[in-house]
Each structure stands twice: as C-alpha cells, then as structure tokens.
Amino acid sequence: MSEATFMREDMERILLSEEELKEIVARIGKQISDDYRDSTNKLILVSVLKGSVVFMGDLMRAIDIPCYIDFMSVSSYGSGTTSSGVVKIVKDLDTNVIEGADLLIVEDILDSGRTLSYLKKLLSARKPKSIKICTLLDKPERRVVDLKADYVGATIPDAFVVGYGLDYDEKYRNLSYVGILKPSVYGGEA
C-alpha cells in the first residue's frame, strides 16, 4: 500500500480540500495586502513553527506588498492532542529590533489560545507599531483564554485535524488537504 493511501485511510474525512485551501489563502492574502498597503511601517510575518510553515509559504506569495518573514518556535504540545498549558520558547525571532514594525503572527490553528496569547504578550513588550494574528484554522469552542484572531481562514468544529502543516506526533504535515484524524489513530474512540 502506498504511503498516500495509508495516510488517507487514517482520515475520518477531508475537512478542507486543496482547492478550498487555495481559495482561503488567496482571500486572506488579498485582505492583508489591502489592509497594510498604505502603512509606512515594515510588515513582518512571524510564522510559528512548525505547523504554520505550509500556510506561511502559500500566504506570503498571496501578499502583493513588500513584507519580511521571521520564525519562532514555541512548544505547548507534547505528542498528545490536548494542550499542556505550558508554553516555552524554543527559538526566538532572528530580527533583533521589531520596534515600529507591523507584526503579523501567522499560525496554523487557534485552539485553547494559550500559545498565541503568550506570544502576543511577549512580542508586544518589544514595542511593534501594531500586532495582529492570522490563523488558518479557528476552533472557538475550545478557547480557554480570551483571544480573537484578526484573520481567520476557516472556523472548524472541535475535532483533531492534520495536514497542510498540522501534525499528529509529527506525522501528516505533508498532506495537501486538512483532514479530521480518526480518533482510533490516537487511541481515542473509533
């Protein structure tokens, strides 16, 4: 059996197809370009590793105004599917000075909100001119801290999803669609 078939069989269903993801990225890219077009500040897209790299790669090409990119890595999840509530910086930005810049945090998914709320606070202390959040997916039902994203690709139900950068135990990131993982794969109910 090929690996592609193997991964597809671990999905309960496909939530967002490659086509739908393309439409989402085009829409958000245009919106961001329009919103920041008249700003005289440096626009920095901050991708949160590793889950947002696929979205980031597509999104930055859908933005038609000058922008810079940087990466941060924080850990809030182990290999499980629920938030530990512990957020640790694994890799900080390469850019030393973000003072006066327009920061746009690019995330794969907004779940409990703990990770992004921590990141937003941390980066705000470095005095950017503005700071906004762009997330591909939003699971509002799961929120434990009060946080809203400024740009949302799709609002999704409370299910564990993988693909297009999102993983379960570092697997499935390379899928070109977003799928709901069968609970039996992570030891839940079938």
Please report, as ranges, the residues that interact with ligand IMP according to CB under 6 A: 51, 76-77, 83, 107-115, 160-162, 166
* Number of other residues whose CB lies within 10 A of the CB of residue 184: 11
Secondary structure of residue 92 in the 3-state scheme:
coil
Closest approach, Cβ 80 to Mg ion, in A, equals: 14
- What pairs with residue 137 in β-bridges? 109, 154
Closest approach, Cβ 114 to ligand IMP, in A, equals: 4
Q: Which is nearer to ligand IMP, 58 or 107 (CB)?
A: 107
* 111 included as an active-site residue: yes
Candidate list 111, 138, 158, 169, residue with the active-site label: 111
- What pairs with residue 168 in β-bridges? 171
Closest approach, Cβ 2 to ligand IMP, in A, equals: 23
166 binds, among ligand IMP, Mg ion, none (CB under 5 to 8 A by kind): ligand IMP
- What is the dihedral sign for C-alpha 67, 172, 135, 77? negative
Query: In 3D, which of 39, 41, 44, 45 has the Cα closest to residue 100?
Result: 41
Q: Which is nearer to Mg ion, 36 or 45 (CB)?
A: 45
Q: Which is nearer to Mg ion, 35 or 177 (CB)?
A: 177
Would you tell me which residues interact with Mg ion (CB under 5 A)? 51, 108
Give the integer Cα–Cα distance in Å for 156 and 109.
10
